[in-house]
Amino acid sequence: MASSWGLGKRSRSRCRLPGWAVAGLLLPATGLAQVAPPTINYECPSCEGHMRTWPALAEVGLVQVAVNWFGHYILEDSSQAVTLKSWGDNFREGWEFDDNHFSTNQFAHPYSGNINFNAARANGHDYWQSIPFAALGSLIWEYLGEIHRPALNDYISTTVGGVALGELTWQLSNMVLDNTATGSGRFWKEMAGMGINPARGFNRLFFHDWSRIGPNPDTRTPELMRGAMRVGARLVDKGSGIDKGELQPYIGFDFVHGDPFTQPYTKPFDVFLFSAQINAGDAKIIGRLTTYGRLYSKRLDTGPEPRHVLIVTQDYDYVNTFAYRVGGQSVNLGVLSRYQLNPRFRLATSARAQAIILGAVNSEFVDGPKRDYDFGPGMGLALGGLVSHDDEDVARLGYRLQWIHNVNGLAGDHILQEFTADIAIPVSRTLAVGTQVLYYHRHSAYRTEPTVSDDTPQFQAYLRWRLQ
């Protein structure tokens, strides 16, 4: 959300959104949506094989109005007291980068974009056809939802991050909802689905899909579906060094949906990974949220068992702790490999190149009262290895390297490195005890300030329950 706080001369300069970017995001709404042949869509039973474009557009507009009214009249937020004059000023003055809190820009905006995206998904549009609705909702809000100039960083994170979170919550709600269920079981499944995906839940209620009996989508149950919950303690560095850190409890969730090796690609996010960590005694209760969904894959070998797969994914990353903050949206291209070491042990490896559309990294040199981070695009590389025993993860190594070039904030570049080592010892079929070491290094080279190097180690011990 845009803010009235100044960011200095650089952030106040006019930031033009390229026309091709707007066109590229908006044209599919009328292009792909019109040529797609009607088919039975069991994800939207009441659609009857047709896309409801006008209801989707109306919902996107109503969401912006509802958020504005709630902020203005309930929260008494003066920044949402919009007028005809503020609208005219926004169109005349153009784009900027805002100075909202990290959690607002990197989590709240993508979450609101997920509502816009799913307003279209819940009305019969597929992944690609729903992207323009996320973009349109963001444009409406930036120009008409607040009195401040539209923020380019909000437009990107709400649209691109909203698509990633939107399709994730769509697929998660797919697994909870059951069109064949009846009675109280059906009611509670619908309530859970609405909690995961409010836009979908509202549409199912409004168009009477809550009680409609029929088949479920063919892709509701993938070839592989596995979840785990971790409960433990972590040594928290609050910015003054790990030696002065505190032990704090945390809860983590990891979920894998689909097998990229054996499951042929059918649609975006038919294979996805979701990981979240809830922290106590840290900057925010949601300390880490990452997800990636498959956009394309192709097998690279011809043997009887698939061993190497080329994969393209859409990623969303959010880390918000006292020690460091980093987040952003990206597209990744990589190769996944899998080796059967013996009948009980398997090794899986991954190597992925990353194109960061817009990242955010914490900085010591603050540009505004709420801003303690820089914005910029970049590139990255991620390497990983996982050893499993009888399909139970026992050892994991990971390394990530990212370069982010600041386009707003203090001029300079960030080099980020993260190393993770995790070992879990199975105690029973569903329980394991484990420990994790995470080491994060940031090297920030600024043009007008001294170079900063920051090292952040982290230690965790946990119990892990296998949920699926």
Measure the CA–CA gap between 198 and 186, rounded to whole angstroms.
17
Report the pLDDT value the prediction gives residue 318, as an integer from 0 to 100.
Answer: 96
8 A C-beta contact, residue 221 and residue 258: no
State the average pLDDT for the chain. Answer: 87
The verdict on 330 and 436 lying in the same domain is yes
Report the residue count for the chain.
Answer: 468
DSSP-derived secondary structure for 360-413: EEE-SS-SSSS--EEEEEEEEEEEEEEEEETTEEEEEEEEEEEEEE-SBSSSEE
Report the pLDDT value the prediction gives residue 122, as an integer from 0 to 100.
Answer: 96
Angle of helix 198-206 relative to helix 109-121, nearest 10 degrees, comes to 30
CATH number at residue 339: 2.40.160
Give pLDDT tens digits for 410-437: 889 999 999 999 999 999 989 999 999 9
- Does the pLDDT of residue 381 top 80, yes or no? yes
Residue 368 pLDDT grade (very low, low, confident, very high; cuts 50, 70, 90): low
The verdict on 194 and 236 lying in the same domain is no
Residue 239 pLDDT grade (very low, low, confident, very high; cuts 50, 70, 90): low
Residue 225 pLDDT grade (very low, low, confident, very high; cuts 50, 70, 90): confident
Last residue of one domain, picked from the residues 170, 193, 218: 218
Domains identified in the chain, total number: 2
With tokens 């975006």, the residue in question is: 268
Last residue of one domain, picked from the residues 184, 218, 252: 218
Report the pLDDT value the prediction gives residue 223, as an integer from 0 to 100.
Answer: 77
Residue 240 pLDDT grade (very low, low, confident, very high; cuts 50, 70, 90): low
Measure the CA–CA gap between 411 and 445, rounded to whole angstroms.
9
Tell me, yes or no, whether 2 lies in a domain. Answer: no
- Does the pLDDT of residue 67 top 80, yes or no? yes
- Does the pLDDT of residue 277 top 90, yes or no? yes
- Does the pLDDT of residue 213 top 70, yes or no? yes
Tell me, yes or no, whether 422 lies in a domain. Answer: yes
8 A C-beta contact, residue 247 and residue 282: no
- Name the phi and psi angles at 120, rounded to 5: -80, -45
- Name the phi and psi angles at 36, rounded to 5: -65, 125
Strand blocks (E) in 209-344: 225-236, 246-257, 272-279, 286-299, 308-320, 325-340
8 A C-beta contact, residue 292 and residue 332: yes
Give bridge partners of residue 459 from the DSSP assignment.
235, 437
Give bridge partners of residue 227 from the DSSP assignment.
255
Across 238-247, b (16+ Cβ under 10 Å) vs e yields beeeeeebee
DSSP state of 324: -
Measure the CA–CA gap between 51 and 166, rounded to whole angstroms.
18
Tell me, yes or no, whether 77 lies in a domain. Answer: yes
The verdict on 292 and 210 lying in the same domain is no
Percent pLDDT > 70 in the chain is 89
Report the pLDDT value the prediction gives residue 22, as an integer from 0 to 100.
Answer: 43
DSSP state of 202: H
Q: Which of 56-70, 357-371, 393-407 has the lowest mean pLDDT?
A: 357-371
The verdict on 142 and 230 lying in the same domain is no
Tell me, yes or no, whether 3 lies in a domain. Answer: no
Tell me, yes or no, whether 452 lies in a domain. Answer: yes
Report the pLDDT value the prediction gives residue 369, as an integer from 0 to 100.
Answer: 61
- Amino acid at residue number 381: L
The verdict on 159 and 82 lying in the same domain is yes
DSSP state of 54: H
Report the pLDDT value the prediction gives residue 123, as an integer from 0 to 100.
Answer: 96
- Name the phi and psi angles at 346, rounded to 5: -135, 145
Across 386-424, b (16+ Cβ under 10 Å) vs e yields bebbeebbbbbebebbbbbbbbbbbbbbbbbebbbebbb
- Does the pLDDT of residue 298 top 90, yes or no? yes
As a whole number, mean pLDDT of residues 307-334 equals: 94
* Burial environment of residue 276 by CB neighbours within 10 A (0 to 12, 13 to 18, 19 or more): middle
Residue 467 pLDDT grade (very low, low, confident, very high; cuts 50, 70, 90): confident
The verdict on 447 and 459 lying in the same domain is yes
Quick one: tokens of 35?
């040529």
The verdict on 282 and 351 lying in the same domain is yes
The verdict on 292 and 174 lying in the same domain is no
**Residue 358: how many CB atoms within 10 A of its CB?**
25
Residue 119: which domain range?
8-218
| pTM of structure | 0.87
Those residues with Cβ within 8 angstroms of residue 70's Cβ, 6 or more apart along the chain or in another chain? none
- Does the pLDDT of residue 115 top 80, yes or no? yes
The verdict on 200 and 270 lying in the same domain is no
The verdict on 158 and 301 lying in the same domain is no
Report the pLDDT value the prediction gives residue 366, as an integer from 0 to 100.
Answer: 67
8 A C-beta contact, residue 199 and residue 148: no
The verdict on 389 and 242 lying in the same domain is yes
As a whole number, mean pLDDT of residues 21-43 equals: 49
Tell me, yes or no, whether 380 lies in a domain. Answer: yes
With tokens 């969904």, the residue in question is: 293
With tokens 């106040």, the residue in question is: 12
Give pLDDT tens digits for 328-338: 999 999 999 99
* Burial environment of residue 26 by CB neighbours within 10 A (0 to 12, 13 to 18, 19 or more): middle
Those residues with Cβ within 8 angstroms of residue 326's Cβ, 6 or more apart along the chain or in another chain? 317, 319, 359, 360, 361, 362, 402, 416
Last residue of one domain, picked from the residues 172, 187, 218: 218
Residue 305 pLDDT grade (very low, low, confident, very high; cuts 50, 70, 90): confident
Measure the CA–CA gap between 134 and 324, rounded to whole angstroms.
29
The verdict on 147 and 170 lying in the same domain is yes
Report the pLDDT value the prediction gives residue 6, as an integer from 0 to 100.
Answer: 28
Would you call 455 helix, strand, or coil by DSSP? Answer: strand
- Does the pLDDT of residue 29 top 60, yes or no? no
Tell me, yes or no, whether 310 lies in a domain. Answer: yes
Give bridge partners of residue 425 from the DSSP assignment.
433
Measure the CA–CA gap between 243 and 71, rounded to whole angstroms.
42
As a whole number, mean pLDDT of residues 83-87 equals: 91
Considering only residues 48 and 344, tell me which one the structure prediction assigns the higher pLDDT: 344
Q: Which of 307, 295, 298 is nearest to 340 (CA)?
A: 307
As a whole number, mean pLDDT of residues 8-24 equals: 41
As a whole number, mean pLDDT of residues 262-288 equals: 92
Report the pLDDT value the prediction gives residue 178, as an integer from 0 to 100.
Answer: 93
Q: Which of 126-135, 238-247, 279-288 has the lowest mean pLDDT?
A: 238-247
